[in-house]
Structure 1
């Protein structure tokens, strides 16, 4: 059975251990990082969702909800600790809900609007303009507890950064009888 956008987003909720490998084209520098991710669901009446929709002149009732993603890289030994959060709001097309708009906001930057599509392969594709850059991201599940992502950042001089993420869901401990 084909996964819909609501089911896909709900599958992302939880705590994840993330490993990222990235490459900067301009400096020819490869890096790898580890972090803890927490993905939380935002209902359509959440104040942040309502505020972002209003900022982009979109009726909040058109959204199906959103996600608040926070990260903490303190698990990355020897690296400078980084924390932050981002919010993504999903507004499906009323005729074809596997495509639609997204609003994304990073805590320190103005929010941006983009597009999403959920493919027949159950991979979510995001396209977002962030300042002078175009960001393309693809997210899919290899299994219910293993999420994979790729991202490309493209500027006026071509691609500037690429990254691959593997994310393992943190499961709660088993109860002992």
Structure 2
């Protein structure tokens, strides 16, 4: 299936859906997104184990040598950079810290990210997938070294599109 996507100059680009490779997947991520995020802290008290909030993020893509770089900026100005290496390596720069891990594009067209958390051996697993070209879902789980889940997050994001100009 070929889908039309908004681009910066207001014209529509066409891209295959679902994305078949990393470049197509990252290209599909580009744009402004409205999101609803839910966070579940499994070690939290009975009163504060869950939070939800709305937000907006802008995603851009650039290439450097063999790497693809996804830059994500939230409405409050917080920025992060995800560097996807062609060998499956991943480097995430956020809040002055750098974390490394791996990425994998799965057969179901979802992108799976695995990152180590700080000096601990805890791991964060994130899965990102598209239901439609303008509807993206993300789930994230933080897991302790013994396999115990520590935190879970779920996010649904809708691409912000402008009305066609006449």
TM-score with structure 2 length normalisation?
0.80
The number of equivalent residue pairs is 143
Contact 1:2 1:120 in 2 (8 A): no
Give 3-state SS (helix, strand or coil) of 2:53's partner.
Answer: strand
Paired residues for 1:69-108 under 5 Å: 69-72=72-75, 83-93=77-87, 100-106=88-94, 108=95
1:122-164: CA deviation from partner (whole Å, max 9, x where unpaired): 0000001121231100000000000000000123463221011
Give 3-state SS (helix, strand or coil) of 2:24's partner.
Answer: helix
1:21 aligns with 2:9: no
1:152 aligns with 2:141: yes
Structure 2 unaligned residues grouped into runs of 5+:
1-17
Match among 123, 139, 164 for residue 154 of structure 2 = 164
Task: From the superposition, tell whether residues 171 and 103 of structure 1 become closer, same or farther in structure 2 (CA, over 3 Å).
Answer: same
1:139 aligns with 2:128: yes
1:27-77: CA deviation from partner (whole Å, max 9, x where unpaired): 151111110010011221xxxxxxxxxxxxxxxx332x21110112xxxxx
Partner of 1:35: 55
Partner of 1:129: 116
CA distance in 1, matches of 2:145, 2:85: 28
CA distance in 2, matches of 1:24, 1:83: 25
CA distance in 1, matches of 2:109, 2:93: 24
CA distance in 1, matches of 2:51, 2:113: 23
1:10 aligns with 2:27: yes
Two-structure CA RMSD over aligned residues (Å):
1.6
Greater helix share, 1 or 2?
1
Greater strand share, 1 or 2?
2
Give 3-state SS (helix, strand or coil) of 1:111's partner.
Answer: strand
Structure 1 outlier segments of 4+, above 6 Å: none
1:110 aligns with 2:100: no
